[in-house]
Structure 1
Amino acid sequence: MTLYHFVGIKGAGMSSLAQIMHDMGHSVQGSDIENTVFTEVALRNKGIKILPFDVENVQEGMTMIAGNAFPDTHPEIAKAYELGIEVKRYHIFLGEFMSQYTSVAVTGAHGKTSTTGLLSHVMNGDKKTSFLIGDGTGMGMPDSSYFAFEACEYRRHFLSYYPDYAIMTNIDFDHPDYFKDLQDVTNAFQEMANNVRKGIVAWGNDTELKKIQADVPIYFYGFENDNDIYAENIETSSKGTTFDVYFKEGKKHIGTFTTPMYGDHHVLNALAVIAVCHLEKLDIENIREALLTFGGVKRRFSESYHANQILIDDYAHHPREINATIESARKKYPENEVIAVFQPHTFSRTETFLNEFAESLNRADKVYLCDIFGSIREQQGELTIYDLKDLVENSDLINEETVSQLNKHTNGVILFMGAGDIQKIQKAYVSTLTV
């Protein structure tokens, strides 16, 4: 039996893929930093061995899956090449793996993880579906009919995939350390569209997605009835959000659906998922029932409760994502004060979108800012958190030692947002409540 060794196994995609291979009956292990990362919980629960980085981990006969954050000069990867061991990059291996299924890629600048989580949950309501989600969740099901996966545009890695369908949630300028500008991002998505085999489901209100051309049908979704699939009669209640879904051809009423989520972006995500299920002729009653039971994905509006406060952990790290998280909080808890605790992720992103971050954060009633969190590729930059603080109207700084200032927001919905280690701030705050 081949042993698969994952270099950087705690990475969100790597963790998910390692779980899939384990579920398929393969022998799996991996290496990474020793700091605790939320993705490792699922790995340990499945009994997957996590080792510290060490060249002694590399043994002849294994196949190495290398995380994209690590260069060929990484000691373990270099050792593998020296021994003549097969080394495959994450995106290359994933592209080969999915070829055995009817595959659905979910891509876009924002909303990939939430939509992939919803897609995998809903499709499993009718057909056995293996899945890879960018929150570190993966499941491989023997005899699966479908494979739902998150496809990241960063460094054009998604061009290694040739899916049957692609859901494209939006196109936006992000990852300024790689992409030159918005046009460069759009060009990447156009290249991705050329790889799709059956059909593309794309958000109809995105001007950049409207430019995409493909040799397969493009089905646009949204709230306006000039889209191919659209939602009408949207109502919010204590159960979530209910809406009618129509297909443009003959204004065919697909059905009335309810998602337990709040906010326009969640309705749009559901529309995209329903569109794929409809195109694949899945049982709509099963799809409707599955949608009702979706509980969300890790680090996307994950709620906990302490006294009268609602604490929400969310991965939002781009201005548009912050807007969506604040909107969800206001719709679900209209009577509560909305407090944003935000940790910017990467210096280049913070600098590029400095004004946009300020504009988004100003939608909250009060803002607390953490120091900028770097990345493996980018440890420092010229600007500091004070550059953002100067632009956010009602803001203060916060860290693990000063979290008690959140206590005064007795009826607050406190949003802990960021892609770094913002969870340590939330953990430190919760510890003050339990002393």
Structure 2
Amino acid sequence: MTTYHFIGIKGTGMSALAQILYDSGENVQGSDIEKRFFTQAALEEKQIPIYPFTEDNIKEGFTVIAGNAFADDHVEIVRAKELGVTFYRYHEFLGEWLKQYTSIAVTGAHGKTSTTGLLAHVLDQTFPISYLIGDGTGKGHVESKYFVFEACEYRRHFLNYKPDYAIMTNIDFDHPDYYSSINDVFDAFQSMADNVKRGIIACGDDMELQKIQAKVPVVYYGFQSGNDFQAQNVAETDNGTTFDVFVRNTFYDTFHIPMYGNHHILNALSVIAMCHYEGLQADSIKKISTFEGVKRRFTEKTIGSQVIIDDYAHHPREISATIESARKKYPNKNIVAIFQPHTFTRTKTFLQEFADSLNAADSVYLCDIFGSAREQSGQLTIDDLQKRVDNSVILELDRTEILSEHHDSVLIFMGAGDIQKFQKAYEAVATI
């Protein structure tokens, strides 16, 4: 049996893919740095070996899959090339693997992970499926009918995939270290649309997505009239949101999701449209109501009178959506945003937009920018953002007890770097 070796197995996509191969009966191992990541627990549960990096990990006959974070001069990649073993980059292997299934790619600037999780949850109630979610969760099944996976637009990696279906949640300017403009991003999504074989489910409320030209049917969803699938009569309840779905202006059914905020309704609509297109009955699709969420997306806990939320939001639009969700779920509490910008290029590009989105919170704390190894700071510091955010405070890692002052409040720790260390530090000293 072939052994699959993952270089950088703790990466979110990599750990999910390793789990899928393991569940599908393959022999799997991997290597990574020693620092502990939240993706590790699932790998350890399945007893998938994780080794420190060394060229000795690479053996004749292995199939080697390398994470995109590692350059060609990495010691294990060099060794793999020397031995001439079968070698893939993550996105290249995924493009090959999904050919066995009815594949559904979930893509978009925002909402990919939550929507992938939601779709996987619903289909998993009815069929044996495989899925790969960008929070590090992966599941394989030898008899899978569907393969649901998150497809990332960064560096146009999603162009390695030729899926049967694609859900497109939105097109927005992000990853400014790679994309030059919104038009550059649009061109990438247009190329992705050209790769789809059977159908596209797209948000019709998104102006950019309306411009997509496709060779396959496009089903549009959204709040606006004119969408094929439209949400109406939205009502917030004590345990989530209820809304009616109209299919081409005819009432279809009422659905409930255990989340708050318009972006969650849109994500759910895309899943309802996809499942309806594939012939699932409404009763099966209604299992959407039992979805428990994905990692690092509005993950909640309570400490005293405070609600602590961990969220991956790292773009102004995502920050706005997360604050909106908190306001709708906790209308009588103050919202405290604790934000760590991710990459200097993104911070510089969206400096004013970050300030505008954060100003929607009642109080704002800012953590030093989490830089990327790929970039230079260009003299930008967190002070440049602080000047634009009303009454904001720079949060020091050894002074997090200041957050205890916010009684009966919602504290949202947001970012794609290591913002969790600030949350962990605060939880250790919180006195509420």
* Counterpart secondary structure, 2:51: strand
CA distance in 2, matches of 1:84, 1:8: 20
CA distance in 1, matches of 2:23, 2:431: 38
* Counterpart secondary structure, 1:235: strand
**Correspondence list, 1:383-394, <5 A:** 383-394=380-391
- One-letter code of the match for 1:74? H
Task: Tell me the equivalent position of 1:257.
Answer: 255
Task: Tell me the equivalent position of 1:345.
Answer: 342
* Contact 1:21 1:140 (C-alpha < 8 Å) held by counterparts: yes
Instruction: Give deviations 1:112-150, integer Å, cap 9, x for gaps.
Output: 000000010011122222100000000001201101100
More moved, 336-345 vs 31-40: 31-40
- One-letter code of the match for 1:342? F
**Correspondence list, 1:23-102, <5 A:** 23-102=23-102
Task: Tell me the equivalent position of 2:148.
Answer: 148
**TM-score, scaled relative to structure 2:** 0.98
Task: Tell me the equivalent position of 1:285.
Answer: 283
Give 2:328's match in structure 1, choosing from 321, 326, 331.
Answer: 331
Task: Tell me the equivalent position of 1:107.
Answer: 107
* Counterpart secondary structure, 2:398: coil
CA distance in 1, matches of 2:12, 2:231: 32
* Contact 1:339 1:365 (C-alpha < 8 Å) held by counterparts: yes
- Deviation of the 1:207 alpha carbon: 1.1
Query: Against the structure 1 CA distance between its residues 379 and 36, is the aligned structure 2 distance closer, same or farther, given a 3 Å change threshold?
Result: farther
Task: Tell me the equivalent position of 1:203.
Answer: 203
Q: Runs (4+) of structure 1 moved beyond 4 Å?
A: none
* Contact 1:106 1:116 (C-alpha < 8 Å) held by counterparts: yes
- One-letter code of the match for 1:175? H
CA distance in 1, matches of 2:206, 2:224: 13
- Deviation of the 1:239 alpha carbon: 2.0
Instruction: Give deviations 1:183-230, integer Å, cap 9, x for gaps.
Output: 000000000000111111111111111110000011111112211110
CA distance in 2, matches of 1:31, 1:395: 41
Instruction: Give deviations 1:22-77, integer Å, cap 9, x for gaps.
Output: 11111111111111111112111111111111111111111100111111111110
- Deviation of the 1:413 alpha carbon: 0.3
Q: How many pairs align?
A: 432
CA distance in 2, matches of 1:141, 1:400: 43
* Contact 2:15 2:137 (C-alpha < 8 Å) held by counterparts: yes
- One-letter code of the match for 1:59? K
**Correspondence list, 1:176-255, <5 A:** 176-248=176-248, 251-255=249-253
Give 1:414's match in structure 2, choosing from 394, 403, 411.
Answer: 411
- One-letter code of the match for 1:429? Y
Query: Against the structure 1 CA distance between its residues 434 and 20, is the aligned structure 2 distance closer, same or farther, given a 3 Å change threshold?
Result: farther
CA distance in 1, matches of 2:431, 2:5: 40
RMSD: 1.1
* Contact 1:125 1:287 (C-alpha < 8 Å) held by counterparts: no
Is residue 429 from structure 1 mapped to residue 426 from structure 2 by the alignment? yes
* Contact 1:235 1:243 (C-alpha < 8 Å) held by counterparts: yes
- One-letter code of the match for 2:110? H
Is residue 270 from structure 1 mapped to residue 268 from structure 2 by the alignment? yes
Query: Against the structure 1 CA distance between its residues 95 and 375, is the aligned structure 2 distance closer, same or farther, given a 3 Å change threshold?
Result: same
* Contact 1:362 1:394 (C-alpha < 8 Å) held by counterparts: no
CA distance in 1, matches of 2:8, 2:389: 36
Instruction: Give deviations 1:233-253, integer Å, cap 9, x for gaps.
Output: 1101012100111111xx332
* Counterpart secondary structure, 1:310: strand
Identity, % of aligned pairs? Answer: 61
**Correspondence list, 1:7-18, <5 A:** 7-18=7-18
Give the unaligned 5+ runs of structure 1.
Answer: none
